[in-house]
Amino acid sequence: MRAKVLHSQQLEWWLMGFGEKVEVIRPVALRRRLARQFETLYRRYSD
């Protein structure tokens, strides 16, 4: 799916709600930001 939307905290929250079922391709800055958030969660919950 493609969508043109404004970057906001709500957008990040919405995307993270999809978990592993979403991949942000562009913009690269948003992709990296979400990757960092998922990495933090992974470290928090992995043994």
Note whether residue 23 is domain-resident. Answer: yes
Burial class (CB in 10 A: 0-12, 13-18, 19+), 30: middle
Inform me whether the pLDDT recorded for 1 exceeds 90: no
The pLDDT of residue 2:
82
Domain that holds residue 30: 9-46
Token representation of residue 18 = 């999809």
The pLDDT of residue 35:
96
Q: How many domains does the chain have?
A: 1
User: DSSP assignment, residue 27?
Assistant: S
Inform me whether the pLDDT recorded for 13 exceeds 90: yes
What is the sign of the dihedral through the CA atoms of 21, 15, 33 and 3? Answer: positive
Note whether residue 2 is domain-resident. Answer: no
Note whether residue 39 is domain-resident. Answer: yes
The pLDDT of residue 3:
82
The pLDDT of residue 10:
96
Token representation of residue 10 = 């709500």
The pLDDT of residue 4:
86
Note whether residue 4 is domain-resident. Answer: no
pLDDT of 16-37, one tens digit each? 999 999 999 999 999 999 999 9
Length of the chain: 47
